[in-house]
Amino acid sequence: MGAERPEDERAQVAAFARARDQVLARIAAAARRAGRDPDDVQLVAVSKTVPAERVRDAIAAGLTVLGENRVQEGEAKKAVAPGAAWHLVGPLQSNKARKAVETFDVIESVDSVGLAARLSRIALELGRAPLRVLLQVNVDDDPAKAGFGPGSVEAALPGLLELAGLRVDGLMTVGRLASSAAAARPTFVALRALSERLRSRHPRLGRELSMGMTDDFEVAVEEGATIVRVGRGLFGERG
């Protein structure tokens, strides 16, 4: 990691601040279209593959909630880029669960009962409880995607809500690879409907809905997203 020259760093921070303002303005406009309060939507800046030095500049520009999809990458960046909260948004193998609990403030990608139980136990052991988690749901039942099926999350939920080490803040989904933002809308509608149905029976399930990425976050906000995960729209195309 080479040292940045101060003038380059200032320009980079200013560029991130502009990108952040633009994304926040688009979130706010989408929220207003749906009669929602823009403050009810949190922006997670997905910094996977972005070098730690640029992540530091992003934090300086106010992008203080970051998302990573690999435990080790998140751990390495967090060590040299302080001042942010970190969300894990990618698949978590059980042998990395302990490191994930040590590193991340929120684990958005809990996709099995076994993983949830393990995270709960580790969070209690480490004195990190309650650990905030989201349940990843494969609402489209896409065989290529991780996550609970809509039926299996319903069956598992009572047990998950009993885990003393976790606080289940809500649901997360990765939309289908859609050719247009509009094509992603049914996925978002389905996740919100599932959340409402589950919460009517299980009030302890939190109301967070993490859905929407660079190509479709405005549609997601219109359909009720409380967390959007934006990578390329802030950091540019990944190499």
Ligand X SMILES: *Cc1c(COP(=O)(O)O)cnc(C)c1O
Please work out the total of residues on this chain that contact ligand X, with binding judged by CB under 6 A.
13
Exactly one of 45, 89, 92, 153 binds ligand X (CB under 6 A); that residue is 89
Interaction between residue 171 and ligand X (CB under 6 A): no
When CB distances to ligand X are compared, the closest residue is 231
Exactly one of 63, 71, 87, 90 binds ligand X (CB under 6 A); that residue is 90
Instruction: Give 89's Cβ-side CA count (13 Å radius).
Output: 24
Min dist. Cβ of residue 6 to ligand X (A) = 29
Interaction between residue 147 and ligand X (CB under 6 A): no
Q: How far apart are CA 90 and CA 44, in angstroms?
A: 13
Which residue lies nearer to ligand X by CB, 22 or 125?
22
Interaction between residue 230 and ligand X (CB under 6 A): yes
Which residue has tokens 């999350």? Answer: 153
The binding track of 30-49 with respect to ligand X, each residue x by CB under 6 A or -, is ----------------x-x-
Min dist. Cβ of residue 189 to ligand X (A) = 19
Interaction between residue 233 and ligand X (CB under 6 A): yes
Min dist. Cβ of residue 109 to ligand X (A) = 7
Exactly one of 74, 165, 224, 231 binds ligand X (CB under 6 A); that residue is 231
Which residue lies nearer to ligand X by CB, 129 or 227?
227
Interaction between residue 224 and ligand X (CB under 6 A): no
